[in-house]
Amino acid sequence: MKSKYNRILLKLSGESLMGAQGYGIDRDRLSDYAVQIAEIVRQGVQVGIVIGGGNIFRGLQGAAKGFDRVKGDQMGMLATTINSLALSSALEAIGQPARVFTAINMYPIGEHYSNRRAIEAIESGCVAIMAGGTGNPFFTTDTGSALRGIEIGADVMLKGTRIDGVYTADPEKDSTATKFDRITYDEVLARGLKVMDLTATALCKENGLPIVVFDMDTPGNLAKVVAGEPIGTVVY
């Protein structure tokens, strides 16, 4: 299967890693993700990854429960690092080299992130997993993934979720919601659709980084999206 993209930034949801267990990391889900990622690397696609931390801790929810917002967000950054280490371990277990880069210096847990090092890694056939968000509080991993995608020169940001695209409303709550095949950044912002947060959407718009929102939990979907098959929703 020929790839439509040379270099991608894959944004994975921390919540998706929970699988059916409701918390933490589901081993089967993790290994399925690793297999899908290794498959596209074998096809010659250069892969950078940002993964959320919502399966372990989410800063905003912590703030709502009385945590200091800055400390809550820092706890969230650590959660993304735990997920990144788990994913790198799953990739290496099936023979796919991976390197973890952290926004804050956490050596030897991961290498301190620089776009030059991350680009060197993906050009050598390694998967670059970029943890810790932007390294700053008040920014989500959506914004972190938009930033990292732009920094590494990705052709597209692939946002893997448990829903198969962008809808007029939450399809899990509204049975009348309809799916978009394509939608502009401006329409996403005008409609207030929860594709990504406002900062991330604006960053992608300003830098011309298209987003494809798709269902990552269906095995084989990542390869289909990379091949340009019309699954998911393109935000442009």
Is residue 164 over pLDDT 70?
yes
Q: What contacts 218, CB < 8 A, 6 or more positions away?
A: 164
Is residue 168 over pLDDT 90?
yes
Q: What is the pLDDT of residues 11-43, one digit of tens each?
A: 999 999 998 888 899 999 999 999 999 999 999
Is residue 1 over pLDDT 70?
no
CA distance 108 to 231: 39
Q: Which pair of tokens denotes residue 73?
A: 């967000």
Find out whether 223 and 1 touch, Cβ atoms under 8 Å. Answer: yes
- Which letter does DSSP use for residue 156 in this model? E
Q: What is the pLDDT of residues 80-122, one digit of tens each?
A: 999 999 999 999 999 999 999 999 999 999 999 999 999 999 9
Q: What is the pLDDT of residues 118-137, one digit of tens each?
A: 999 999 999 999 999 999 99
Mean pLDDT of the chain: 94
Model pLDDT, residue 194: 83
Find out whether 87 and 98 touch, Cβ atoms under 8 Å. Answer: yes
The predicted model scores a pTM of 0.94
Find out whether 133 and 77 touch, Cβ atoms under 8 Å. Answer: yes
Domains of the chain in sequence order = 7-235 (3.40.1160.10)
How far CA 75 is from CA of 22, 24, 38, 81, 222, in Å, comes to 19, 15, 29, 10, 29
Q: What b/e string do you get for 5-36 counting C-beta neighbours within 10 Å, with b at 16 or more?
A: bebbbbbbbbbbbbbeeeeebbeebbebbbbb
User: E strands, 146-218, where?
Assistant: 156-161, 166-167, 179-180, 182-183, 211-215
Is residue 197 over pLDDT 80?
yes
With cut-offs at 50, 70 and 90, classify the pLDDT of residue 172.
confident
Model pLDDT, residue 13: 93
**187-200 mean pLDDT:** 91
CA distance 176 to 185: 23
CA distance 108 to 91: 19
> What is the share, in percent, of the chain residues with pLDDT greater than 70?
99
CA distance 12 to 158: 9
